[in-house]
A = this chain, B = another copy of it.
Amino acid sequence: MKARVTVTLKTGVLDPQGKAIEGALASLGFDGVSAVRQGKIFDIELAGADEATTRSAIEAMCEKLLANTVIETYHIEAVA
């Protein structure tokens, strides 16, 4: 199974990297950008055909390693 995990900062958590990108875009002349927030993706290939089992394995990976659940949320999506 292939899955894409998207990790983003929770709403309300400050995102200095996003703010820096916003500033850089403005200084490059891109107007009208009102907000930029950045996040991470992980494309994971996992053995096992059963989607429920692999999904719960990936959830455990997110909790333990891929996401800092204090400030980040994650979203798991199966990829065809």
Q: Beyond A35-B44, A39-B42: 14 further Cβ-contacts under 8 Å? A: A8-B41, A21-B42, A21-B66, A28-B64, A28-B65, A32-B46, A34-B45, A36-B42, A36-B43, A37-B43, A39-B41, A39-B43, A40-B40, A40-B41
User: In the complex, are the beta carbons of B40 and A39 less than 8 A apart?
Assistant: yes
**Is the C-beta of A78 less than 8 angstroms from some C-beta in chain B?**
no
A9-44 CB contacts (< 8 Å) to partner B: 18, 21, 24-25, 28, 30-44
Contacts of A31 in B (CB 8 A): 47
Contacts of A61 in B (CB 8 A): 25, 28, 30
Contacts of A44 in B (CB 8 A): 33, 35-36
